[in-house]
Amino acid sequence: DQQVKQNSPSLSVQEGRISILNCDYTNSMFDYFLWYKKYPAEGPTFLISISSIKDKNEDGRFTVFLNKSAKHLSLHIVPSQPGDSAVYFCAAIHPFTGTASKLTFGTGTRLQVTL
């Protein structure tokens, strides 16, 4: 049972445009969400997070939006740069069964930023 879903395996965006990566979840008890970026042959690196008490969080070019009623979050990258080409994972934490040790990951979306 995939509780966190990233339905787009890949996305191609032109440099300078907006990249929008989507993530859906089924467990309404998740209360904290994170986005990770992963380059080949490296570990995931943290990008941005959001608590369920917020609906938006910004950090530079990266903004995460959370729609709790739709159980949907999205990561916006503006403007997209070639160095953003990577696999992006969303992850979620359950407040009772989850801790910083236990993330539930989506399957990832491969973003390619073209020149």
Partner 1 sequence: NAGVTQTPKFQVLKTGQSMTLQCAQDMNHEYMSWYRQDPGMGLRLIHYSVGAGITDQGEVPNGYNVSRSTTEDFPLRLLSAAPSQTSVYFCASGQRLHSGNTIYFGEGSWLTVV
Residues in the site for partner 1, rule: CB under 8 A? 4, 6, 9, 32, 34, 36, 41-46, 49, 51, 89, 91, 93, 99-108
Q: Which is nearer to partner 1, 49 or 74 (CB)?
A: 49
CB closer to partner 1 out of 14 and 45 = 45
The distance of closest approach from Cβ of residue 115 to partner 1 in the complex, given in angstroms and rounded to an integer, is: 28
Residues 66 and 73: beta-carbon distance below 8 Å: yes
User: In whole angstroms, how close is the CB of 85 to partner 1 at the nearest point?
Assistant: 18
Smallest gap from Cβ 95 to partner 1, in A, equals 9
Toward partner 1, which CB reaches closer, 34 or 86? 34
Q: Which of 25, 113, 39, 20 is CA-nearest to residue 69?
A: 25
CA dist., res. 89 & res. 81, Å (int): 18
